[in-house]
C-alpha cells in the first residue's frame, strides 16, 4: 500500500472508526465533512479513497487502520495527533453510543501514538 499524507490518512482513520460498529450514522458523516472542510480548503476528489475503504472486508480493517495511523503519525506533530484523537473520540460518540469495536480501534490509535 502506498503511503498516505496526513489528511488522507486521517480520512481513512475516521471512516473506519465510523464503520466498525456496522453503522454509519448521519452525525458521524457530518463530523467527517467537518474534518474534510478543515483539512482540504480546496475541492478534492476522494472517490478512490472511499472505494478503497468500501472494498475492505471487516477482517482487513485493523491492518488498514494501523497502516494509516502510521502514515498520519509520520506526517504530524504530537499536538496534531492529540487534537486528532480528541476529534476521533467525538466521532465515535456522535451517535450517543460507543460500541466495543469503536472503543477498541480508538484505543489502538491512542496506543500506537503513545497518547494517554
The predicted pLDDT at position 5 comes to: 93
The predicted pLDDT at position 25 comes to: 87
**Would you say 71 and 4 are in contact if contact means Cβ atoms under 8 Å apart?**
yes
The predicted pLDDT at position 12 comes to: 96
Copy the grid coordinates of residue 46: 476522494
Mean pLDDT by 10 residues, the chain (116 residues): 91 95 89 91 86 93 97 97 97 93 97 95
Q: Which bin fits 88, alpha (ψ -120 to 50), beta or left (φ > 0)?
A: alpha
Copy the grid coordinates of residue 101: 469495536
Task: Please give the model's pTM, rounded to 2 decimal places.
Answer: 0.93
At 73-96, the pLDDT tens digits run 999 999 999 999 999 999 999 999
Fold classification of 6-112 is TerB-like (1.10.3680)
The predicted pLDDT at position 20 comes to: 92
Domain boundaries, given as residue ranges, for the chain:
6-112
The predicted pLDDT at position 94 comes to: 94
First to last CA, the chain: 29
Residues in the chain: 116
The predicted pLDDT at position 44 comes to: 82
Amino acid at each position: 500500500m502506498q503511503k498516505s499524507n496526513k489528511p488522507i490518512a486521517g480520512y481513512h482513520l475516521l471512516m473506519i472508526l465510523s464503520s466498525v460498529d456496522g453503522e454509519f450514522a448521519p452525525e458521524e458523516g457530518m463530523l467527517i465533512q467537518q474534518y474534510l472542510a478543515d483539512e482540504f480548503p480546496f475541492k478534492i476528489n476522494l472517490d478512490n479513497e472511499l472505494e478503497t475503504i468500501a472494498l475492505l472486508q471487516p477482517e482487513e480493517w485493523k491492518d488498514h487502520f494501523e497502516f494509516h495511523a502510521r502514515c498520519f503519525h509520520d506526517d504530524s506533530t504530537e499536538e496534531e495527533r492529540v487534537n486528532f484523537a480528541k476529534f476521533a473520540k467525538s466521532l465515535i460518540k456522535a451517535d450517543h453510543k460507543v460500541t466495543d469495536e469503536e472503543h477498541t480501534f480508538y484505543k489502538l490509535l491512542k496506543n500506537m501514538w503513545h497518547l494517554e
